[in-house]
Each structure stands twice: as structure tokens, then as C-alpha cells.
Amino acid sequence: MLRSMTHQLQMHGREMKNYNIFSAYVNRLKRNYNLVFGDESKNSLDRDLHFGLVKTLVVLTKNGKVFGFDTLKHANKAETEKEFANGEQIKWIVDTGLDNLVTLYNTEDVKEIALLDDHQVLHKLDIEEGKLVNVHPRFIENNFRILNNNEGERVLKQTQSDDFYSLIVSNDKHSVQGVHFYDDSEKPTWSFTLDPEDHL
């Protein structure tokens, strides 16, 4: 008898737990539906914030300036265009003083950006300080892996994984090589060479 009652209580507890999970899921589904299609869809700010769509767009210019743009859009299109025209959507601007930057990498830390120049030198931009700062080896280790292309030159790949597949384009743009990187070593997996008159 006691065992039966204990079993019933356990079953009732599981049903309540499942009901609470199901109920929470239904409420979440209703809220998301209203944000996208219902009455709340008119307030794009709530929707964008709820779904994590408000981001900072980071742009690197040819003369070495780095801009952070707020992607927040207002329900009123004219208001958004006015803010953009007045520069109000620009969150920050940093002039690196370098005109040979070719690649921008976002990192896990939103306050830091990695910049690669045309000599394959990595620079770190501290947004809060508004300037380039020294690159610590740990920063590279946490955000990048260094591969060697088939010409023996180093290639920087942005990843935190220790086991990944990637491809490397040769400097002359005539061949591509697939690489499996694992346990701090790399193994070529495939390669493809274009005709002499073609290039990537």
C-alpha cells in the first residue's frame, strides 16, 4: 500500500514537472509568435532585443579606421535613416594609423578585435582604450590556429577548436589544399590545382 502511494506520488511529481516544462514551452512559443506576427511585432526594438538581433557591425576601412555601427533599427524607417545620416548609429571609431590592414577578426571578447596586415603581422585593437595594444601569445592561442600552406608559409585561421578541417589557398591563387588540424599537427587531406590560365 505504502509502496503504491509512493509510486503514485512519484508519477504525479513527474507529470507536474513535465506539465511545467510543457507549459513554459507553450508560453514561450506564444510570446515568440506575438513578437514576430502578432500585436507586439510592431515594436521591432523588443523583437530584435528578444531574439539577439541587435549587434555591433564592425567595419575596417582601407585607410586603417575601424568603425562600430549599432544595427538597432527603429520601427520608423525615416528615423533610422536620419540617425545613420547623422552618424548617430556609429558607436565608436578608432584610427589605427595603419594603412596596410587586410583582415579583421572578431573575438570572443567584444572589447577586442584582431587585425592582420599585409605582412601577416597580427595586431590587437582594444576598443575601450581606442588604440592598438601588444598582442600576447595567449591571445593568439585562444583565438587562432597557425597552419602551413603547401609553399611552407604560415596561415592564420580563426578558431578555438583543436580538431577542425580547413582549406588553404596558395599565394599564387592557383591551388587549394584541404587540411585536417588536430593535436597541434596538420595533415593534408586533398589538393586541387587549377589550369595555368585560371586563378582563384
The residue range of the domain holding 36 is 2-46
Number of structural domains (the chain) is 3
Residue 75 reports pLDDT greater than 60? no
Residues 11 and 32 in one domain: yes
Please compute the mean of the pLDDT values over residues 175-185 and round it to a whole number: 84
Fill in the amino acid letter for 71.
Answer: T
Same domain, 148 and 114: no
Domain shared by 74 and 130, yes or no = yes
**Does residue 99 sit in the same domain as residue 145?**
no
Neighbours of 125 (CB within 10 A): 22
Which of 135, 157, 186 delimits the end of a domain? 135
Q: What's the whole-number mean pLDDT along residues 56-72?
A: 84
* 170 and 141 co-located in one domain: yes
3-state secondary structure the chain: CHHHHHHHHHHHHHHHHHHHHHHHHHHHHHHHHHHHCCHHHHCHHHHHHHCCCCCEEEEECCCCEEEEEECCCCCCHHHHHHHHHCCCCEEEEEECCCCCEEEEEECCCCCEEEEEECCCCEEEEECCCCEEECCCHHHHHHHEEEEECCCCCEEEEECCCCEEEEEEECCCCCEEEEEEEECCEEEEEEEEECCCCCCC
Domain C-terminal end among 135, 154, 184: 135
- Cα separations (Å) of 135 from 32, 154, 159? 42, 17, 17
- Do 152 and 193 lie in one domain? The reply is yes
CATH number of the domain bearing residue 71: 2.40.10
pLDDT score at 40: 63
Cα–Cα nearest to 165, from 184, 141, 189: 189
Same domain, 94 and 64: yes
- How do residues 97-155 score in pLDDT, each as one tens digit? 998 888 888 776 667 888 888 887 888 888 888 888 888 888 888 888 877 766 677 77
* Predicted TM-score (pTM) of this structure: 0.56
Cross-strand partners of 177:
168, 191
- Residue 100 CA neighbour count, 13 Å, CB half: 7
The verdict on 182 and 143 lying in the same domain is: yes
Q: How far apart are CA 35 and CA 173, in angstroms?
A: 47
Query: Which residues, 6 or more positions from 193, have their beta carbon under 8 angstroms from its beta carbon?
Result: 174, 175
Take residue 157 and report the three cell numbers written for it.
585561421
Q: What is the pLDDT of residue 12?
A: 55
Q: Looking at 135, 162, 186, which one is the last position of a domain? A: 135
| Same domain, residue pair 69 and 36 | no
131 shares a domain with 62 = yes
Do 32 and 74 fall within a single domain?
Answer: no
| 41 shares its domain with 106 | no
